[in-house]
């Protein structure tokens, strides 16, 4: 053992046993205690400002004015009635899918297959449309949409059921399982594009027909310039909040999320609860696929989901799985997406740079969650041996 100030060896003492002193790391992470609203606000504001500063540096590097870029992002999202409607339209599938993902995540079932579940809903919904087109549109508008909704729910629920069944039956990894289903949905769509019955007349290019041109009755009506899906999304946020907070099913989901063994000890049918919850999660993602078909794209492609299934994970985490908080978060992310498209056209900013700018802002917002849960502790220049011993014993 050596003297901490001079570094010279300490003389041995028969009365004091030698103590092994462990050097404290330069930086370590510890759990925070209670965080006040003021502290939360400070962390979020600081993170957002730092994101804007780093984004400004990126824009300066590519020779663009950061102030003009940020102003164009805002005006491009909410500057006109049309742009505002487009922003809210982008937020609809984000909100629905975010709520769907939250059901699974609340149970600590890592559903990374929102993208595939959205596509599965869109695929089965499109099958209904194609059947109606070849039947000569001999079906009313209301029955058509009811069939499309039912098919979308069934498709999404199927893609939610499969990983839940295999997870609860054989303990498979749900992350990989749900992720792989995304690619199955994409390849299935690529196969549909090769079918003559799905292609526009007199074309040899592998492309699925435009449903709006062939069957105008599939188009959803609009309220305030946005298809009625936004009304459903807001209603769903309220229903999901009540389901998770006020019902027995929501309580069971929370218990399984805290401890699966505790849920089993309490006599819960954990296998059925997990399957039931993933059926709901997948079904809601499937509904998002229906709204993409009937309210936005009016056709089916491998990009119909448009990354919504993955972005919904960010929505869920930023909202701490709270359906009400997901509403402004979904609008915020939709604004970033619409704004990035605006600066590409108005300022000739490359798409990659615009996407990187959006990613920087989201990265910093997610980083705020880390600093709300944990804090960085730096090594002190002088640390008493007694304090170090207490830390080691703890």
Give how far the C-alpha of residue 184 lies from the chain's centroid of Cα atoms, to the nearest Å: 20
Strand partners, 223: 226
Q: How far is CA 77 from the centre of its chain?
A: 20
CB 351 within 8 A of CB 81: no
C-alpha–C-alpha distance, residues 308 and 98, integer Å: 9
pLDDT on residue 183: 96
The yes-or-no verdict on residue 124 having pLDDT over 80 is yes
Q: How many residues does the chain have?
A: 394
Band (pLDDT 50/70/90 cuts) for residue 285 is very high
pLDDT at 163: 97
pLDDT above 90 for 10? no
Taking residues 274-303, report their average pLDDT. 95
Q: What's residue 119's pLDDT?
A: 97
The Cα-based distances of 117 to 32, 271, 280 in angstroms read 37, 21, 11
- The yes-or-no verdict on residue 385 having pLDDT over 50 is no
Give domain status of residue 100, yes or no: yes
pLDDT-derived band at 216 (thresholds 50, 70, 90) equals: confident
The answer to whether 29 and 375 have CB atoms below 8 angstroms apart is: yes
- Give the angle 298-335-217 at the CA atoms, nearest 5°: 20
Which of 19-28, 32-41, 113-122 has the least mean pLDDT? 19-28
Average pLDDT taken over every residue of the chain = 88
pTM: 0.86
pLDDT at 23 over 80: no
Is 207 within a domain? yes
**Is 59 part of a structural domain of the chain?**
no
DSSP states of 158-180 as a string?
HHHHHHHHHHHHH---HHHHHHH
- CA angle (312, 313, 319) in 5-degree steps: 90
Closest CA to 232 of 93, 85, 90, 334: 93
Residue 124 belongs to domain spanning: 90-330
**22: in domain:** no
Residue 327 · residue 88 · CB < 8 Å: no
Report the alpha-carbon distance of residue 304 to residue 322 in Å, rounded. Answer: 26
Q: In this structure, is residue 242 part of a structural domain? A: yes
Has residue 37 been placed in a domain? no
* Rounded Cα distance, 55 and 378, in Å: 28
Q: What is the DSSP letter of 217?
A: G
pLDDT (0 to 100) of residue 389:
47
Of 31-45, 332-346, 372-386, where does the model show the most confidence? 332-346
The model's pLDDT over 230-254, given as tens digits with 9 standing for 90+, comes to 999 999 999 999 999 999 999 999 9
| Beta-carbon count within 10 A of 316 CB | 27
278 contacts 161 by C-beta, under 8 angstroms: yes
pLDDT the model gives residue 41:
87
CB atoms within 10 A of CB 244: 20
Q: CB of 284 within 8 A of CB of 103? A: yes
pLDDT at 33: 74
In a domain, 308, yes or no: yes
Max mean pLDDT range (27-31, 197-201, 230-234, 370-374): 230-234
**CA 25/CA 356 separation, integer angstroms:** 34
Write out the E strands in the chain. 27-31, 222-223, 226-227, 374-378
Residue 320 lies in a domain: yes
For residue 381, name the pLDDT band (cuts at 50, 70, 90). Answer: very low
351-369 tens-digit pLDDT? 888 888 888 988 898 888 8
Q: pLDDT for 302-349, tens place per residue?
A: 999 989 999 999 999 989 999 999 999 999 999 999 999 999 988 888
The tally of domains found in the chain comes to 1
pLDDT score for 384? 46
User: What integer pLDDT is reported at residue 31 of this predicted model?
Assistant: 80
């Amino acid at each position: 053992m050596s003297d901490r100030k001079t570094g010279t060896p300490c003389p041995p003492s028969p009365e004091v046993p030698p103590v092994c002193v462990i050097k404290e790391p330069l930086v370590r992470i510890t759990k925070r205690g209670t965080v006040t609203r003021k502290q939360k606000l400070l962390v979020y504001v600081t993170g957002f400002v730092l994101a804007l500063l780093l984004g400004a540096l990126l824009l300066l590097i590519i020779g663009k004015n950061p102030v003009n870029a940020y102003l164009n992002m805002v005006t491009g999202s909410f500057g006109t009635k049309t742009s505002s409607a487009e922003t809210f339209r982008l937020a609809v599938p984000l909100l629905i899918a975010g709520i769907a993902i939250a059901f699974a995540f609340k149970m600590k079932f890592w559903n990374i297959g929102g993208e595939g579940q959205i596509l599965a809903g869109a695929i089965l919904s499109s099958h209904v449309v194609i059947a109606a087109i070849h039947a000569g549109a001999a079906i009313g508008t209301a029955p058509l949409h009811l069939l499309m909704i039912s098919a979308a729910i069934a498709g999404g629920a199927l893609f939610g059921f499969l990983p839940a069944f295999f997870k609860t039956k054989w303990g498979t990894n749900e992350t990989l399982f749900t992720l792989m289903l995304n690619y199955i949905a994409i390849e299935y769509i690529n196969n549909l594009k090769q079918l003559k019955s799905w292609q526009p007349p007199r074309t040899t290019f592998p492309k699925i027909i435009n449903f709006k041109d062939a069957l105008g009755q599939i188009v959803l009506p609009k309220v305030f310039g946005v298809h009625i899906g936004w009304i459903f999304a807001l209603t769903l946020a309220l229903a999901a909040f009540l389901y998770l907070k006020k019902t027995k099913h929501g309580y069971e989901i929370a218990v399984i999320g805290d401890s699966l063994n505790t849920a089993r000890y309490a006599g819960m049918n954990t296998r059925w609860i997990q399957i039931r919850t993933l059926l709901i999660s997948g079904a809601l993602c499937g509904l998002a696929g229906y709204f993409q078909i009937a309210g936005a794209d009016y056709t089916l492609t491998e990009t119909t989901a448009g990354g919504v299934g993955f972005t919904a994970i960010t929505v869920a985490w930023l909202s701490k799985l709270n359906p009400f908080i997901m509403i402004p978060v979904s609008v915020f992310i939709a604004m970033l997406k619409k704004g990035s498209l605006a600066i590409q056209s108005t300022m000739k900013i490359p798409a990659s740079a615009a996407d990187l700018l959006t990613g920087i802002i989201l990265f910093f917002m997610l980083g705020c969650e880390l600093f709300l849960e944990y804090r960085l502790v730096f090594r002190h220049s002088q640390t008493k041996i007694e304090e170090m011993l207490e830390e080691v014993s703890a």
